[in-house]
Amino acid sequence: MTKRRPIHKLIDEQIKRWELGKHKEEPLAETRSVITISRESGSQGLELAGMLSKAMEFDLFDNEILEAMIEASRNSRVLLETLDEKKIGFVDDLVSSVVNEHHLWPDEYSKLLLKIIGTIGKHGRAVIVGRGANFVLTRINALRIRIVAPFEIRKEYIMKTRGLSAEDAKKYVISTDSNRNAFVKRYFNYNISEPSYYDMVLNTGTLSLEKAVMLVREAL
């Protein structure tokens, strides 16, 4: 298993890549260049995201990276200023529209979350996992995916990958799903499981990850 580089280095490298393309004209895209992935615990959504990122040569933003970006942006605007003024204005408008549409009362965390996801979405060529990204990027041509699987399959996957007993794996799956549901309800006032909020719902209990990647690429 490849060891992951420190988060701060990943963020620094991302900023450099964005800065290099800051003033380039956006080509007229024929395909969607942002994929958002919402997933049930144990459905292998993160694994699928990694495979898509590699296959499409898109940058991958999971919960850990997103949270680190939010924390880094509390005292610095470097991340948010990797866009030119026109695109920054677009992100500001995007944040306002999300807040108004969902009747939200955003705190500091949620404002930064919306701005970071909006910034990633505007840069494009990204796979974003979790944190309600599909509810943020409603004005960006993104492909919104929900990954599901039968409970028993998810429980067995957690048992295998985390070395847990059947009972502990069951508790883990239930708790993780509950926390993700609560996060989306709190910050976006939506039900994370509602299929109409997604362009695709893929069942990894019946689809291999390779087949899922193929279906996603065909949908872009």
How does pLDDT run across 41-75, given as a tens digit for each residue?
999 999 999 999 999 999 898 877 777 777 766 65
| Structural domains of the chain in order of their starting residue, each with its CATH number | 32-219 (3.40.50.300)
Which helix (H) or strand (E) covers residue 170, if one does?
A: helix 166-188
- pLDDT beyond 50 at 26: yes
Edge-to-edge order in the sheet of strand 59-61: 59-61, 126-129, 34-39, 142-148, 200-203
Q: Nearest Cα to 183, choosing from 175, 172, 192?
A: 192
Segment 192-206 shows an average pLDDT of 94
Three-state secondary structure call for residue 107: coil
- pLDDT beyond 80 at 102: no
Is the Cβ–Cβ distance between 117 and 77 less than 8 Å?
A: no
Which range, 140-144, 149-153, 185-189, is most confident?
149-153
